[in-house]
Amino acid sequence: MFSRLRSASTFGVNAFVVEIETHLENGLPNFTVVGLPDSAVKESRERVSAAIKNSNFVFPQKKITVNLAPADVRKEGSAFDLPIAIGVLASLGQVNAAVLDSMLILGELALDGTLRPIRGALPVALEAKKQGFTSLLVPAQNADEAAMVEGVNVIPLESLRQTVEFLNAECPIASRVVDVAGIFAHDQHHSVDLGDVKGQENVKRALEVAAAGGHNLIMVGSPGSGKTMIAKRLPTILPPLTLEEALETTKIHSVVGALPEGTALLTVRPFRAPHHTISDAALVGGGMGFVRPGEISLAHHGVLFMDELPEFARNVLEVLRQPLEDRRITISRTKMTVEYPASFMLVCSMNPCPCGNFGNPNQACSCSPPQIQRYMAKISGPLLDRIDIHVDVAPVKYQELASTRQGEASVHVRTRVIKAREIQKHRFAKRKGVYKNADMSSKDIREFCKLDAQSEALVKTAMTKMGLSARAFDRILKVSRTIADLDDRADILPQHIGEAIQYRSLDRQYWNA
């Protein structure tokens, strides 16, 4: 007695098809799963056995062998419970095996035969469409997520018995259909607004420039000056996610199991704010056994906010250098190599010194110059070079706090940001992998950031007096290009260069102090 059907598993942020072969023969009752299963897959034997019995089916007292092919790729997760159970019942003739070839089946079984949600439904649905499967059978809780992919009939299921009845044409179930455009229109809103911020006009301007060009940003200021409040409002002025970006971002969160309950698609840009005690593996991805995406991948197409930057471990900060350049992270292990996308905006905040009052006009700093230098030295020069914009955040004055005047709303700032991004999109239309000014390579900078004599003199003076590196020079040109785009100017003017130089405050104030 033999049956064959298909399921799927994830590797990285993508899925691959797994063929499940079930063989029953006479002999001492035994249930074996082969094909490099992990612990969760091995434990499916007990769940499948109990679910079959509690669904009023006869569990065979035979020698059962289940093979997960390809046998040389490790399988993980509990999503194989349902297909294994269907394979056993199909081998007994209790399920119509003829319909199984055109569908993928996934689901975790409870002991009473009901289905529980799984991880990775969206990447599985994308792979099902790619491989030409007509139907995808998933737990009802995952149906909306999987139905985001057009061209695949997503069948929502509640239990093992309902699945068997559907396969035997005893219980027709309508495929799940979702209104993707409606979800985008309804869910693209934020609970915060840039207009809530009192004062800090220079910081809000820097935030607008960063959003317009996709630049990394660091804010330096005393405790309570509003750094975290401002950073949380950055997603409100970024351009809306496109459907392609939303699907790519949702795939990552789906694989990790980080999708909020009841959410089928992420329609706003993610904002991730890991605590400073995070490990390097949790930040960039990794872990024991199976490799998982880290915070930088969960922030893909969004914002990674690192509050109190010097408090992060030095090795944690240093692992950011490569993904900040390449926009992806490659994690290598003895038996596997996994690549995760990591195109995010890095936003950091920090105090100017250990006590936090250096440069504060209202309170005296109690730190000595060596203490300040040691504190600032926790951030390496190469990492700082990769942050395009440095901005000082001064304490808000009482008059500004007490003012009833509302600041400029996020929607107005976002309009200017979108306009600047459209200019960049048109500029880089023939450049593969370049969508905004922050993505420019050295070749792109030479072509699109040409300077006149006065602007060159400004840059030369800044390089000489501030001792800037070649990477910092490139950052100045990129930021000035963005400022010119916001000003709707084809050429970079001296005032654009001057503002961009002002956004290297850490080079100016601390590193050469």
| Chunked mean pLDDT (size 10), the chain, 513 residues | 94 93 93 91 94 94 95 90 96 93 96 95 95 96 93 96 96 90 72 87 94 95 90 94 91 91 88 95 82 93 95 93 90 82 95 87 87 88 88 84 81 96 94 90 91 91 80 90 95 94 73 41
- Asked if residue 369 is part of any domain, the answer here is yes
Q: What is the phi/psi pair of residue 72, to 5°?
A: -100, 5
The confidence score (pLDDT) of residue 511 equals 41
The confidence score (pLDDT) of residue 512 equals 43
- Asked if residue 66 is part of any domain, the answer here is yes
- Indicate the average pLDDT of the chain: 90
- Asked if residue 313 is part of any domain, the answer here is yes
Q: Are residues 162 and 243 in the same domain?
A: no
Q: How far apart are CA 49 and CA 43, in angstroms?
A: 10
Overall number of domains in the chain: 2
Q: Are residues 160 and 191 in the same domain?
A: no
Q: Tell me, what CATH number does 33's domain have?
A: 3.30.230.10
Which of 173-206 are b and which e, b meaning 16 or more Cβ less than 10 Å from the residue's Cβ?
Answer: beebebebeebbeeeeebeebbbebbbbeebbbb
H/E segment holding residue 85: helix 81-91
CA angle (76 as vertex; 73, 78 as ends), nearest 5: 140
- Nearest alpha-carbon partner for 377 in 369, 365, 387: 369
The confidence score (pLDDT) of residue 288 equals 67
Helix pair 243-256, 180-187: axis angle to 10 deg: 80
Residue 290: exposed, middle, or buried by beta-carbon count in 10 A (0-12, 13-18, 19+)?
A: middle
Q: Are residues 268 and 413 in the same domain?
A: yes
DSSP β-bridge partners for residue 348: 218, 306
Structure tokens at 166: 């559907």
- Nearest alpha-carbon partner for 140 in 155, 162, 161, 151: 155
Computed over its alpha carbons, how large is the radius of gyration of the chain?
Answer: 28
Q: Are residues 110 and 146 in the same domain?
A: yes
Q: Are residues 310 and 401 in the same domain?
A: yes
Q: Are residues 374 and 255 in the same domain?
A: yes
Q: Are residues 232 and 344 in the same domain?
A: yes
**Three-class DSSP labels, 355-381:** CCCCCCCCCCCCCCHHHHHHHHCCCCH
The confidence score (pLDDT) of residue 510 equals 42
Q: How far apart are CA 242 and CA 234, in angstroms?
A: 17
Long-range contacts of 429-437, Cβ-Cβ distance < 8 Å, separation of 24 or more: 435/214, 436/213, 436/214, 437/212, 437/213, 437/214, 437/215, 437/478, 437/479, 437/481, 437/482, 437/485
Q: How many CB atoms lie under 10 A from the CB of residue 248? A: 20
Q: How far apart are CA 190 and CA 328, in angstroms?
A: 27
Which of 463-492 are b and which e, b meaning 16 or more Cβ less than 10 Å from the residue's Cβ?
Answer: beebebeeebbbbbbbbbbbbbbbeeeeeb
Q: Which of 404, 435, 466 is the last residue of a domain?
A: 435
DSSP β-bridge partners for residue 292: 286
Beta strands in 26-62 (DSSP E): 30-34
- Asked if residue 500 is part of any domain, the answer here is no
Q: How far apart are CA 284 and CA 344, in angstroms?
A: 12
Owning domain of residue 51: 2-167
Sign of CA dihedral 385, 386, 388, 392: negative
- Asked if residue 503 is part of any domain, the answer here is no
Q: Are residues 13 and 115 in the same domain?
A: yes
Q: Are residues 430 and 289 in the same domain?
A: yes
- Asked if residue 509 is part of any domain, the answer here is no
The confidence score (pLDDT) of residue 43 equals 92
In this structure, the strands spanning 285-286 and 292-293 are antiparallel
Sorted by sequence, the CB contacts under 8 Å of residue 5 that are 6+ apart come out as: 19, 20, 83, 86, 87, 90, 97, 100, 101, 103, 105
Q: Which of 100, 132, 167 is the last residue of a domain?
A: 167
Q: Which of 435, 461, 484 is the last residue of a domain?
A: 435
Helix pair 470-486, 453-466: axis angle to 10 deg: 140
Q: Are residues 63 and 113 in the same domain?
A: yes
- Asked if residue 178 is part of any domain, the answer here is no
Q: Are residues 89 and 138 in the same domain?
A: yes
- Asked if residue 470 is part of any domain, the answer here is no
Q: Tell me, what CATH number does 360's domain have?
A: 3.40.50.300
Q: How far apart are CA 335 and CA 459, in angstroms?
A: 49
Q: Are residues 163 and 191 in the same domain?
A: no
